[in-house]
Amino acid sequence: MLAALLITLDLLVVAHRGASAVAPENTMAAFRAAGTAGADMYELDVRQTKDGQLVVVHDSTLARTTDVERLYPDRAPWRVSDFTLAEIKQLDAGSWFGAGFTGQRVPTVREAIAASSDGPGLVLEVKNPTKAMDAPLTQLLDELPSDTIVLSYDWAFLRRLQTHAQRATLGPVSLARLPSVAAFADLVVVRHNSISVPFVRRAHKLGIKVISTTVDRPAVMRRMLASGVDGMLTNRPRVARNVADMKPEFDELRNVIGDMLGR
């Protein structure tokens, strides 16, 4: 279970769209790089194609991260939902990032899962979920380990799926809303500039773990450690792993300060 994983780790390092600072986001190259960099899990974005297949793409369109405009010039605005899986598989999803990644393809979710079987765990962020996605996602989640995290901005969707995967929600979540979130979530992923020591303490009292997003600068990573977060989403998992080694020192300092303040 995710709770057991968090207990055994000083800090959960989640590679955002894979190690997307060094490889094209949401590609197999980025996922492999995340494992090499020491990430505990990698996050990928899930969308549905015209023919109902689940693929790994962040944006609602394919324009930014593939050569779709060159291959299909007359099909603007190039929405993922307007293309079949076979059409999407023709696209180059790597050369926009660098010539060395030419030929990377948009993976299916199942391909990404297969790649993680002996590596980092999975965080699936479902983008703009519809009820048409419930059945294929439910089938998928029933086959995945119990520590799989499902993220979405759509809380109704998460409630529908919460019996099939580790429960989670994606912010923004305010301090005031934490009690209502606790009714169906045991993990929140929140922008780092919305996280404070009181926020993390309140979440922990409610039994909610906190992961910050998206943190790439060491100074911000250290601030997150000082706030007591349980994990960080980052494009630079190797940097985060190095910073995570400092967590015991931050925990000791925070406990000393807490004792001085009588907390």
Concerning whether 16 is annotated as a catalytic residue, the answer is yes
Q: Give the CATH superfamily of 2-261.
A: Phosphatidylinositol (PI) phosphodiesterase (3.20.20.190)
Q: What pLDDT was estimated at residue 64? A: 98
Convert the pLDDT of each residue in 15-64 to its tens digit: 999 999 999 999 999 999 999 999 999 999 999 999 999 999 999 999 99
**CA gyration radius for the chain?**
19
Residue that the structure tokens 């169906």 belong to: 184
Q: What pLDDT was estimated at residue 175? A: 74
Distances (CA, A) of 145 to 98, 112, 167: 34, 14, 13
Share of the chain above pLDDT 70, in %: 84
Any idea where the domains of the chain sit in the sequence?
2-261
**Cβ(84)–Cβ(52) under 8 Å?**
no
Catalytic-role residue among 16, 164, 192, 204: 16
In the predicted model, what is the mean pLDDT of residues 223-245?
Answer: 93
Concerning whether 192 is annotated as a catalytic residue, the answer is no
Distances (CA, A) of 219 to 20, 256, 259: 19, 21, 25
Catalytic-role residue among 58, 164, 192, 204: 58
- More confident: 178 or 255: 178
Give CA–CA dist 47/83, Å, rounded: 11
Degrees, nearest 5: CA angle 155-112-181 = 15
Q: What pLDDT was estimated at residue 143? A: 79
In the predicted model, what is the mean pLDDT of residues 151-180?
Answer: 71
Dihedral sign for Cα 188, 194, 196, 201, please. Answer: negative
Q: Which residues of 34-60 are buried (b: 16+ CB within 10 A; e: fewer)?
A: bbebbbbbbbbbbbbbeeebbbbbbbe
Share of the chain above pLDDT 90, in %: 59
Give CA–CA dist 58/44, Å, rounded: 8
Convert the pLDDT of each residue in 190-223 to its tens digit: 999 999 999 999 999 999 999 999 999 999 999 9
- More confident: 7 or 213: 213
Residues in the chain: 263
Mean pLDDT of the chain: 86
Phi, psi of 206 (to 5 degrees): -90, 0
